[in-house]
Amino acid sequence: MEKRNYRVLLFPFLMGIAVALGILIGYFLSGNPANTTSDGKAKLGDAKVNDILNYILDEYVDTLDATELEDEAISSLLSRLDPHSSYIPASDFEQINEQMEGNFDGIGIEFNIQKDTIMVVAAISGGPSEALGIQSGDRIVEIEGKQVAGVNITNEDVMKKLRGKKGTRVKVGIFRPGSGKSRLYYTITRNKIPIYSLDAAIMLDSKTGYIKISRFSATTFEEYLKAFEKLKNAGMQQMILDLRDNPGGYLNAAVDLCDEFLPNGQKIVYTKGKARKRENYDATSLGDFENGKLVVLIDEGSASASEIVSGAIQDNDRGWIIGTRSFGKGLVQEEVQFEDGSALRLTVARYYTPSGRCIQRNYSNGNDAYYKEVVERMRGTTSDQKEKQASDSLAFKTKSGRTVYGGGGITPDIEVDTDTSGYSGYLAEIVSNGLINKFAFDLVDRSRKDLMSHYSNERIFALKFDASPYLSDFFEFCKRNGIPPDQLAIQKSGNLIKQQLESLIGRALFGNDGYFAVRTKYDNAIAKAIDVMRNGSLAGMKQKN
């Protein structure tokens, strides 16, 4: 599949999120640190730093922004520590916090700008737009009486106009194809809009459930419980938990999830640091899926809280870990918030899996080398042997006596690499220009009623829909948008283009469940997971696919 190469492009963004998310122990402090340490040693005073900053601001030849200078000084200081200690300026903190708290204030729609028009992809479940009946395919053409179609509006403009404090109102004018009216007007009262961390919960067959979690936020466990109940009622007996490209998040969310799979008293994780006593997290008597077959999928983008879950499942021999070696983040950050709205996330401890592993990768060669190693693994340009050798020197035993390794991420029980044989420059170009997404959206916009009459749900769509008849039209669409057909590249990448087109048509019809219903059909790791659950046993399962 082409996914690994796309993930290389997205990796700096994903790992920026990972740094921002970290694993937050939950101490939210305020104010300035004391002047002495816990053992009575004097701390460095801040007089020199303040004096230097003030001297620069007063005397430097050019005018400087005091906030920018302070932010850069703090970031430079933290860069001397580890890759995951970070400073979050006030301008960024609210947006990052929204992702972790699981909500923001707004009207609750997913949208695309197509043909210079705001197109509603979906009304977010539980939001005010859904409650008013705003639908997929609606065009927002007016906001507060002003024309917003055909005026070169940007995504940022849309966010500014539609987001706002809970309880405030915004009036929108909508054109709905087939309604017989030139405008439908809605006055929407903004509210808290959920940001979901669980991307999909679908049945892959009559007994296999699939749950995809994109990060561990404050709402993740609640989302999981709802998804589990839905799949259980649909007949789920075994589960595939997909944590690929999940950069982590809250420690307690990871612990709560593990508790669903592990029996009372089994170890989940423990943390300790120079100034932090060891703290143990064990499974309780709660948990609704302690016996069904379980597979956890990981890759190079699975970090921190994702590695806590996969490490706990692996060390307790509870299920299979399938995929590629995880990121390797075993550091715990504590958050300090400041009066100006900024925050510091400082590494204060390491976490250890039940067998005693710390899976933090070596970062002694600097941050650039630290992140470059993972990018090279994604590209397949490194043999992965150097890090594996470092890990192999740190051998530990699982509950049943299997050997596992620390020091460099979680190594899967069964390794399944992403197939990149169909990747091409032509594919990268049409993807980066959003042409597959635009074509899929336009197709569904024209044919929604007909498609829905043939495919009533995402499983039927995934099983029966074939995008092959649309490919010639798609390549002509690319040509009209400045990317002429490249026959050799199409021969190489045609199957991937078809798969992605089917996936995005599925999303336009059925949301994320439609997208993942198609993607999982073509996923080698999921095929291996289903095969293993059908034929495999946990005993002696270390193998290479």
Catalytic pick among 161, 212, 267, 329: 329
The two beta strands, 249-250 and 23-29, are: parallel
Long-range contacts of 265-269, Cβ-Cβ distance < 8 Å, separation of 24 or more: 266/316, 266/354, 266/399, 267/312, 267/315, 267/316, 267/354, 268/308, 268/312, 268/354, 269/308, 269/311, 269/312, 269/351, 269/352, 269/353, 269/354
Q: Which of 439, 422, 446 is nearest to 502 (CA)?
A: 439
Spell out the residues 6+ positions from residue 164 whose beta carbon is closer than 8 angstroms to its own. Answer: 105, 106, 170, 190
Q: Which of 531, 426, 433 is nearest to 484 (CA)?
A: 426
Distance, in Å, from the CA atom of 371 to the CA atom of 358, rounded to the nearest integer, reads: 18
Per-position DSSP letters for 58-73, written without gaps between them:
HHSSS---HHHHHHHH
| Residues 107 and 129 sit within 8 Å (Cβ to Cβ) | yes
Please report which residue ranges of 273-404 form alpha helices under DSSP H.
Answer: 305-315, 367-379, 385-392
Distance, in Å, from the CA atom of 405 to the CA atom of 391, rounded to the nearest integer, reads: 5
Task: Tell me if residue 192 is catalytic.
Answer: no
Tokens of 187: 């006055």
- Return the sign of the alpha-carbon dihedral for residues 479, 481, 482, 488: negative
Distance, in Å, from the CA atom of 146 to the CA atom of 353, rounded to the nearest integer, reads: 56
Beta bridge partners of 106: 191
- Residue 457: CB atoms within 10 A of its CB come to 14
- Cα–Cα separations (whole angstroms), residue 307 to 258, 287, 299, 335, 526: 11, 20, 10, 20, 19
User: Which contiguous run of DSSP H or E holds residue 129?
Assistant: helix 128-132
DSSP state, residue 204:
S
- Residue 475: CB atoms within 10 A of its CB come to 20
Catalytic pick among 86, 304, 424, 503: 304
Task: Tell me if residue 315 is catalytic.
Answer: yes
Distance, in Å, from the CA atom of 238 to the CA atom of 219, rounded to the nearest integer, reads: 24
Task: Tell me if residue 304 is catalytic.
Answer: yes
Distance, in Å, from the CA atom of 140 to the CA atom of 117, rounded to the nearest integer, reads: 7
Exposure on the CB side of residue 297, measured as CA atoms within 13 A: 26
Catalytic pick among 138, 242, 299, 315: 315
Beta bridge partners of 29: 336
Tokens of 212: 């995809």
Q: Which of 199, 194, 203, 195 is nearest to 214 (CA)?
A: 199
Positions annotated as catalytic residues are 304, 315, 329
